[in-house]
Copies of this chain bind each other. A is one copy, B any other.
Amino acid sequence: MRISALAARSGVPVGTIKYYLREGLVPPGRQTSRTTAEYDESHVERLRLVRALTDTGGLGIAAVRRVVAVIDAPDPARLDVLATAHDALIGGGAPEPDEADGEASESDEDDGTEVEGRARRWAVQRGWFVPEGDAVIGRLERAWAACEQADVIVDEAMLDQYADAVEQVARVDVTSVPVGAEGAVRRVVVGTVLTEPVLSALRLLAQRQVSLQRYRHDERL
């Protein structure tokens, strides 16, 4: 199909498709003349995936590029599906250019040094494996520091309770992706990104439920 038909089929405007093509998020069509190309169902599917990752998953263009790169060409030498998937998700610890707004926002204080290493110490104490220079623990450090800076107090005990709960989430995640299966990297990456909004919505519903139960319980006292 031509790009106009691809736009109609996928619901993504032609201009946006051209942008995705330039950014390498969608593979080029089969060139049929100097100015036209043919697209097929794989392009429709890819466009839906990109929209799901950006709109629902909230990923920036750089993150989507990493995800589709690992889906298109998973390194056959890398057997560790999870590490590959996590690298695609968080960019190997490099700061994501689309996370900041392009302007320097360094502060002379509150630069997080206070909790530097705190997340790692907590994780090791919990018995979790944390490789040297791990990007995931770096992300936890920064997220934890951001809470503290905004007076959202999260201590080690609270983090342990969250971690107990999240381990259950992870068991569901890992169970739903057979290790080494075809397309496992795609399923880990896309599954983790797209179930985040599901978990967020569940959290609000569960907050309401827990609050109602507690309130009813108090009434009975």
Contacts and interface: CB of A to CB of B under 8 A. Distances in A.
A204 interface: yes
Contact of A146 (B106, B197, B202): B197
A69 interface: no
A203 B170 contact: yes
A33 interface: no
Contacts of A83: 208
Q: How many copies does the complex hold?
A: 2
A166 B169 contact: yes
Interface residues of A, number: 93
A1 to B, nearest CB: 15
Contact of A170 (B144, B159, B206): B206
Nearest to A197: B143
Interface string A208-219: 111110110000
